[in-house]
Copies of this chain bind each other. A is one copy, B any other.
Amino acid sequence: MKSYSKELYFNIPERMGFVNITSQVEEVLIESGIQEGLCLVNAMHITASVFINDDESGLHRDYKRWLEKLAPHAPIDQYDHNLTGEDNGDAHHKRQIMGREVVVAVTNGRLHFGTWEQIFYGEFDGRRNKRVLVKIIGDLIGSTCNFSIFSFRCF
């Protein structure tokens, strides 16, 4: 088994924002040389998410509006967490909706994705340095795949 880790760095200029990191994760996968295995991508901060969805700007506006409705930023005194002097209570809630991490299959050296799957970094308390971890474990040897109208399998 081989393993490979790399941390990606972000500093998002707004409080809330989404960045497509699919190509960065693909580059890490190529660096690793791993052909078969699992790829974990997770936010290393608790006010941020990594999630998989569509790269469509209308949807991202919808997500921002929806998350703001489910866990509004203001008034900041609605969160006991903000009694610590922080103003990011909402961000800890938004991140639970969108999730901390994704685990993606690696098959024949590629992210084993459906047509529209793209990986995003989701920031909910930006304007500061943040990190995402990519950890890949697996084998350097590829697999053999069979395709029929009933199934697609790799051994």
Q: Which residues of A approach B to under 8 Å, CB–CB?
A: 1, 3-9, 31, 36-38, 40, 42-46, 51-54, 56-59, 61-63, 66, 70-71, 79-84, 89, 92-93, 95-105, 107, 112-117, 131, 133, 135, 137-139, 143, 145, 150-155
This protein's copies in its complex = 3
Q: What's the dominant secondary structure at chain A's contact region? A: mixed
Q: Contact between A139 and B58 (Cβ–Cβ < 8 Å)?
A: no
Contact in complex: B152, A7 (CB < 8 Å): yes
Cα–Cα distance between A155 and B2 once the two chains are bound (Å): 8
With contacts A62-B79, A93-B63 taken as known, whether A4 is within 8 angstroms of B135 at the C-beta atoms is no
CA distance A38 to B101 in the complex (A): 13
A3 contacts B36, C-beta separation under 8 Å: yes
